[in-house]
Amino acid sequence: NAGVTQTPKFQVLKTGQSMTLQCAQDMNHEYMSWYRQDPGMGLRLIHYSVGAGITDQGEVPNGYNVSRSTTEDFPLRLLSAAPSQTSVYFCASSYWIGQAANTGELFFGEGSRLTVL
């Protein structure tokens, strides 16, 4: 199993450009999420999904779009990149065992480092 795979690993954009960060998992996880990590800020949740066709906002969703057409893939789209979106982005997935149950452990990708000039 590859686990959670993120591409690209590094990307440099100019302000106003758009791009998509790809995330794929091969563990048949229902739950997938995107976080951004900034120095001194820890990880902040951008968007998450509890299954194909179901997405919702996290703590910092502005400027980002997501979709979930398959169980395996959860791409993150930056519509018009801004310097404030310079960050390291992590995709994470887990088994989802029901709304009333506890969230299990998250499996993380290796991250995508994005610089917006």
Partner 1 sequence: SQQGEEDPQALSIQEGENATMNCSYKTSINNLQWYRQNSGRGLVHLILIRSNEREKHSGRLRVTLDTSKKSSSLLITASRAADTASYFCATKRTDSSYKLIFGSGTRLLVRP
> Which residues are near partner 1 by CB under 8 A?
4, 31, 33, 35, 40-45, 48, 50, 56, 58-59, 90, 92, 99-100, 102-111
Nearer to partner 1 by C-beta: 19 or 45? 45
Q: Report, in Å, the least distance between residue 84 CB and partner 1.
A: 18
Please say whether the beta carbons of 94 and 104 come within 8 A.
yes
Nearer to partner 1 by C-beta: 72 or 110? 110
Nearer to partner 1 by C-beta: 19 or 106? 106
Nearer to partner 1 by C-beta: 58 or 63? 58
How far apart, in Å, are the Cα atoms of 35 and each of 48, 86, 98, 100? 9, 13, 22, 23
Cα 15 from Cα 57, distance rounded (Å)? 23
Q: Report, in Å, the least distance between residue 5 CB and partner 1.
A: 11
How far apart, in Å, are the Cα atoms of 23 and each of 16, 17, 30, 40, 42? 22, 20, 14, 25, 20
Q: Report, in Å, the least distance between residue 21 CB and partner 1.
A: 14
Please say whether the beta carbons of 57 and 51 come within 8 A.
no
Q: Report, in Å, the least distance between residue 96 CB and partner 1.
A: 9
